Chain A
Amino acid sequence: MAMTITEKILAKAAGKKEVSPGQNLWLNVDVLMTHDVCGPPTFQIWKREFGEKARIWDKNKLVIFPDHYIFTSDVHANRNVNILRKFAKDYQLPNYYDVGSERYKGVCHIALAEEGFNLPGTVLIGTDSHTCTAGAFGLFATGVGNTDAAFILGTGKIWEKVPESMKFIFEGSVPQYLTAKDLILQILGDITTDGATYRAMEFDGEAVRSLNIDERMTLTNMAVEAGGMNGIIAADEVTRTYLAERTSKPFEEFQSDPDANYHSVYEYDVGKIEPLVAKPHSPDNRDTVRNVRGAKLTKCYIGSCTGGKFTDFKNAAMILKGKEVRVPTFIIPASPSVAKRLQTETIDGKTIEEILADAGCTIAPPSCAACLGGPADTVGRSVDHDVVISTTNRNFPGRMGSKKAEVYLASPLTVAASAVTGVITDPREFL
């Protein structure tokens, strides 16, 4: 029977030869990831349910990153990090990456990639909706809550309904003024925030194949913004090269069969897509940058798992080079490794960090920061009637802090161009 890549991976994880959409399966989990917001309640449920006999099913498969609320004086938030720390010590966990130590890795979804946990053909579950990011490596990755995570912690298993798959094919060569963010905003506008609910979103085509891992992760990251269970891009040479530098673990690659069944197939010519935004207050409220240009801004924000990768800052730096920002602009690298590359990689003899700092941007330490608002002292958090343009993934009311704020989502190119002028600006004016 012909199967999609998602169906093949789920069949393997369930120990079956074939599966079809709608079928309920118990899957064996290869990696469970958690962080400071959901880790503590997950451990608490696990202890409550498994009692004295509670055992972690496989310590090597549990990965913990404090990343959400870590640079704050909020006592409850700090208590959560202390709970992670103690848990990791008590159970001698090999994959705990403590904040304030040299092991700190930053935002979980990017850290998973950088540390070589994203292996093609595997099942990766995390207590965060953007866990779907890891699907950029040709694996099945999805987010769950604390109860499901606690169940996995004790048993290594999760139930899932096999999703129908939707295929998104981008053909053509990606113009300089477009990024993966524009491509995913295009899809969100077309299918809306529940257009892929309980479905797999598979990305393919010449344009997708030309994207590096950073950009591929921008696509899969926002699958959940369409309600998708997972986003997935089959592994290829780009994936193998990235992994070869980070892990020697073996993996198995899967591809969709040419005659596999899809719920729907969308085809795009990237040459016909122009820079896009999602207007307040929903990621599917798509418009062209051209149509909203001139909207006055009070803040610009480049960061998060979807918009704080090396490629995102490199794109921003191309526009900010030799210019000055007109509104407060926040740069929050997703990981220490990204921050380090900003200090070493150069454009015309200047490091990217120098370019961004000289333009007047505020550069903060790596974390989730204001992407999800966070405690009151979070860097870049929106206040009052802020109007923000941001490379992050959600703009629901209050998402970046203030309920009264308006947030536009856009590519790093569009955010950088807008930072220079203080109003929403098409990046083509600077390229």
Chain B
Amino acid sequence: MQKIIKGPAYVLGDNIDTDQIIPAEHLVYSLSDPEESKKYGRFAFSGVPPAKAGLPDGGIPFIEGDDYRSKYNIIIGGSNFGCGSSREHAPFALKMAGVQVVVAESYARIFYRNSVDGGFIIPLESVGKINDRIKTGDLVQIDLANQTLTRLSDGQQFSLKHPGDVLPIIEAGGLFAYARKSGMIG
């Protein structure tokens, strides 16, 4: 697992539900077909109302035009990130768009599980709220071993929480890899 992840941040508010991450009408595409699955990247965060897309100012598209990759690889969210449906298409869509890490104040359970068990993205919790202190486009660096997020423009550091018991699954890259490593499955 990559220990240092750096890139521009895309900032969102509280209660970003799975319909905002990937609207239900798009759940029909194949997740395994290499071409068709790019559509998940294309429509990632397309359900976020424009005024709340890319805080603090809003109006910043996560995906530009018909592209399926975003220039933002780090998402900063508030509380209850990923609430709503159980669709694993949500963390998958973020992965397809090039997201590596989401840092949020808290997560809804199923989104968190899906992110970790599917090995799509790394969901980290901030200590307290930070989505009002980072701006969309800020260059940030995440140190996974030391659980910190640093804003590179001024060196301001924010603490992240240790992932606890799920760390071995994150490090293995997902539930199946973990179960193989630990001898649960062949």
Q: Which residues of B contact A335 (CB under 8 A)?
A: none
Q: Is the CB of A282 within 8 A of B15?
A: yes
Q: Which residues of A contact B114 (CB under 8 A)?
A: 144-148
Q: Which of chain A's residues has its CB closest to B80's CB? A: A194
The B47-97 residues at the A interface (CB cut-off 8 A) are 47-49, 79-80, 83-89
CA distance A138 to B2 in the complex (A): 44
A155 within 8 A of B: yes
Q: Is the CB of B86 within 8 A of A38?
A: yes
| B109 in complex: contacting residue of A159, A227, A396, CB < 8 Å | A227
Q: Is the CB of A194 within 8 A of B106?
A: yes
A397 within 8 A of B: yes
CA distance A229 to B110 in the complex (A): 9
B90 to chain A, nearest CB (A): 9
Q: Is the CB of B109 within 8 A of A198?
A: yes
Q: Is the CB of B17 within 8 A of A38?
A: no
Q: Is the CB of A374 within 8 A of B20?
A: no
Interface size class of A (residues with CB under 8 A): 35 or more
The B23-44 residues at the A interface (CB cut-off 8 A) are 23-25, 27-32
Q: Is the CB of A145 within 8 A of B88?
A: yes
| A227 in complex: contacting residue of B108, B185, B186, CB < 8 Å | B108
The A166-195 residues at the B interface (CB cut-off 8 A) are 193-194
Q: Which of chain A's residues has its CB closest to B90's CB? A: A145
A279 within 8 A of B: no
A128 within 8 A of B: yes
Given A76-B28, A376-B25, A394-B84, decide whether A148 and B106 contact each other with a Cβ distance below 8 A.
Answer: no
Count of B residues near A, CB < 8 Å?
A: 42
Given A129-B84, A148-B117, A403-B49, decide whether A76 and B29 contact each other with a Cβ distance below 8 A.
Answer: yes
CA distance A197 to B15 in the complex (A): 12
| A374 in complex: contacting residue of B25, B47, B79, B186, CB < 8 Å | B25
| B176 in complex: contacting residue of A37, A49, A375, A399, CB < 8 Å | A49
Q: Is the CB of B88 within 8 A of A41?
A: yes
A59 to chain B, nearest CB (A): 19
CA distance A194 to B86 in the complex (A): 15
| A147 in complex: contacting residue of B27, B118, B165, CB < 8 Å | B118
CA distance A282 to B17 in the complex (A): 10
Q: Which residues of A contact B48 (CB under 8 A)?
A: 397
B113 within 8 A of A: yes
B123 within 8 A of A: no
A380 within 8 A of B: no
| B31 in complex: contacting residue of A44, A197, A282, A398, CB < 8 Å | A44
Q: Is the CB of B87 within 8 A of A38?
A: yes
A12 within 8 A of B: no
List 22 A-B residue pairs with CB atoms under 8 Å apart, sorted by A's residue number.
Answer: A41-B31, A41-B89, A53-B186, A74-B28, A76-B28, A126-B86, A127-B86, A128-B86, A144-B113, A144-B114, A146-B31, A146-B88, A147-B175, A155-B179, A194-B83, A197-B108, A224-B110, A227-B83, A373-B24, A397-B49, A398-B23, A399-B17
User: Which 6 pairs across A and B sit closest by C-beta, in order of nearness?
Assistant: A145-B88, A76-B28, A145-B114, A194-B80, A143-B86, A147-B118
